């Protein structure tokens, strides 16, 4: 099965996802939401749209793969790569699954119990387009007889992964979060787009902004007004429970905070905020915040800021949850690992 064959099956999948509604897929998404209320049908649809617009776009896909000339035709698959998938946001492991496939390896997949239904169906569709594709995927309860590992989890689970999988070629991902640096001169449109960086997928992704850095004396009023557009999250039971719990706790402890009914914003040295919350820190000059972000690079997935503000790689407002194919998690080039590192 050549690289062109594998690309062809993915593009057929894209055409299917972009065509008339797939009632079986819709049923699986509803089942997923019933199993895990955080993975709403709307968020699953958003994730699938992102897949078709980026990963399954022929021009982008071919341009991305051109950077990896060591990828070779492979049938049967060359190696078996074990994948431990996360389930914090819908289909979060799909980039790894398709990367393994495009690199000519077999993906042995341990699904997250939080998101176990849609991905196997997508893989079944691939095998319908080309029956050889079935040899490239295996969904398993327990990983065994693999040559390499890509595992994603919390800091605690990463320590387990390191101990158990450390003797194999591996990529092990830990907790990371996105941050944003504001100047106080942001337009309403920029703050709206920042809202998507904060609230998309209920803020549960490693690419979601969980902390903002603001200049000392920053006026939070415009930000709170724009973030009020997300007040509909109060209709989501789990979000509201987290909001109410933290609101009550902070009130009882007489800790200062801002809120607008949609989110709680408070000062903290930490990067990873609680659900329905956003942390902030003041800065006195851009150089100082640049240095802090550099020092904490291992904890940060990405930085959102106006282009040119920082002497660091940054994403523009609204782009945090719209990664391109080469925007690798934790900055580790997964495709390079799969094409030359095994």
Residue 239's pLDDT is what?
97
Residue 182 three-state SS: coil
Do 241 and 234 form a contact (C-beta atoms < 8 A)?
no
Taking only Cα atoms into account, the Rg of the chain, rounded to an integer number of angstroms, comes to 21
Q: Which residue has the tokens 């209920």?
A: 202
Instruction: Name the architecture of domain 3-175.
Output: 3-Layer(aba) Sandwich (3.40)
In this prediction, the residues of the chain whose per-residue pLDDT falls under 50 are none
Residue 20's pLDDT is what?
77
Residue 72's pLDDT is what?
61
* Partners of 148 in the β-ladder: 81
Domain residue spans in the chain?
3-175, 177-304
Q: Which residue has the tokens 């008339």?
A: 20
Is the model's pTM score more than 0.75? yes
Q: How far is CA 94 from CA 156, 201, 280, in A?
A: 23, 16, 32
Q: What ranges make up the beta strands (E) of 182-313?
A: 209-215, 258-259, 264-267, 277-283, 300-304
Which numeric CATH code is attached to 177-304?
3.40.309.10
In residues, how long is the chain?
342
Residue 259's pLDDT is what?
96
Do 125 and 98 form a contact (C-beta atoms < 8 A)?
no
Do 172 and 165 form a contact (C-beta atoms < 8 A)?
yes
Residue 315 is given by DSSP the state B
* Angle CA 260–218–192, to nearest 5: 50
Task: Give the separation between CA 87 and CA 99, rounded to whole angstroms.
Answer: 18
State the distance between the two ends of the chain, measured CA to CA, in whole angstroms.
Answer: 20
Task: Give the separation between CA 274 and CA 251, rounded to whole angstroms.
Answer: 16
Residue 74's pLDDT is what?
60
**What are the phi and psi torsion angles at 140 (to 5°)?**
-130, 160
Q: Do the strands 300-304 and 177-181 form a parallel or antiparallel pair, or are they unpaired?
A: parallel
pLDDT in tens, 34-82: 999 999 999 999 999 999 998 899 999 989 998 988 776 666 678 999 9
Task: Give the separation between CA 263 and CA 194, rounded to whole angstroms.
Answer: 14
Q: Which helix (H) or strand (E) holds 152?
A: strand 148-152
Task: Give the separation between CA 53 and CA 274, rounded to whole angstroms.
Answer: 31
Task: Give the separation between CA 77 and CA 286, rounded to whole angstroms.
Answer: 49
Residue 262's pLDDT is what?
92
Q: Which residue has the tokens 């002497």?
A: 311
The fraction of the chain above a pLDDT of 70, given in percent, is 99
Query: Going edge to edge, which strands form the sheet with 137-139?
Result: 137-139, 106-110, 80-84, 148-152, 170-173
Of the candidates 189, 148, 155, the residue with the CA atom closest to the CA atom of residue 174: 155
């Amino acid at each position: 099965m050549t690289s062109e064959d594998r690309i062809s099956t993915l593009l057929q999948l894209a055409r299917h996802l972009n065509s008339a509604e797939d009632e079986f897929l819709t049923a699986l998404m509803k089942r997923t939401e019933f199993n895990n209320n955080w993975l709403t049908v709307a968020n699953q649809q958003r994730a699938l749209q992102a897949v078709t617009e980026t990963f399954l776009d022929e021009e982008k896909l071919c341009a991305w793969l051109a950077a990896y000339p060591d990828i070779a035709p492979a049938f049967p698959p060359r190696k078996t790569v074990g994948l431990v998938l996360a389930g914090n946001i819908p289909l979060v492991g799909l980039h790894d699954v398709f990367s393994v496939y495009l690199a000519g390896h077999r993906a042995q997949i341990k699904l997250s119990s939080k998101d176990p239904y849609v991905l196997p169906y997508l893989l079944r569709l691939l095998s319908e387009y080309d029956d050889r594709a079935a040899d490239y995927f295996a969904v398993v309860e327990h990983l065994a007889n693999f040559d390499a590992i890509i595992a994603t989890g919390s800091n605690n689970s990463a320590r387990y992964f390191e101990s158990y999988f450390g003797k194999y070629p591996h990529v092990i991902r830990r907790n990371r979060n996105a941050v944003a640096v504001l100047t106080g001169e942001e337009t309403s449109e920029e703050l709206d787009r920042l809202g998507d960086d904060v609230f998309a997928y209920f803020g549960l992704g490693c690419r979601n902004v969980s902390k903002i850095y603001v200049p000392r004396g920053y006026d939070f009023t415009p930000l709170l007004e724009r973030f009020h557009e997300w007040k509909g999250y109060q209709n989501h039971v789990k979000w509201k429970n987290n909001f109410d719990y933290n609101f009550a706790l902070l009130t009882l402890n007489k800790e200062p905070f801002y809120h607008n009914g949609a989110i709680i914003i408070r000062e903290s040295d930490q990067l990873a905020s609680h659900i329905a919350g956003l942390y902030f820190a003041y800065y006195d000059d851009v150089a100082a915040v640049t240095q802090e972000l550099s020092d904490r690079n291992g904890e940060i997935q990405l930085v959102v800021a106006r282009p040119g503000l920082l002497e660091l790689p940054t994403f523009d407002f609204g782009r945090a949850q719209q990664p391109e194919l080469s925007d690798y998690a934790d900055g580790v080039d997964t495709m390079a690992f799969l094409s030359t590192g095994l």
